[in-house]
Amino acid sequence: MIRVCYTTVMCPIDLEFVKTFLHTYTIYGTPEKLLNELIQRFYVVQKPTMNIEEFNTRSHMIQIQVINVLQLWVNIPGEFKG
């Protein structure tokens, strides 16, 4: 699900894109696959060419985006049943 990267980029989130993705992701994969990819995306790996300040800024922004996607996902009616 390469689209996970697009839903968690470092620029302002495209809310309509994310909502559309979350309503159609089952065409491409399972909830488990999406969750695993979001978890992987959350744990940003530092590139060798990136200094610590740049890494901290980048990773923090990506982590916030992942949390935003998770928040939108769990609030979709009927997506998660108790």
- Whether 81 is in a domain gets the answer no
- What's the rounded Cα separation, in Å, for the pair 48 and 50? 6
- Please say whether the beta carbons of 79 and 73 come within 8 A: yes
Q: What's residue 69's pLDDT?
A: 92
| Domain assignment present for 20 | yes
Would you say residue 60 lies in a domain? yes
Quote the domain boundaries for residue 18: 14-74
**pLDDT at residue 6 in the model:** 57
Helix, strand, or coil (residue 25): helix
Let me know: does 10 contact 68? Beta carbons within 8 Å.
no
**CA 66 distance to own-chain centroid:** 4
Specify the number of domains making up the chain. 1
In a domain, 41, yes or no: yes
pLDDT in tens, the chain (82 residues): 545 655 555 567 788 888 998 999 999 899 999 999 999 999 999 999 999 999 999 899 989 999 999 999 999 988 877 6
**pTM exceeds 0.75, yes or no:** yes
Contact (CB, 8 A) for 72 and 16 = no
SS3 (DSSP) at 55: helix
Task: Give domain status of residue 1, yes or no.
Answer: no
Question: Is 53 a domain residue?
Answer: yes
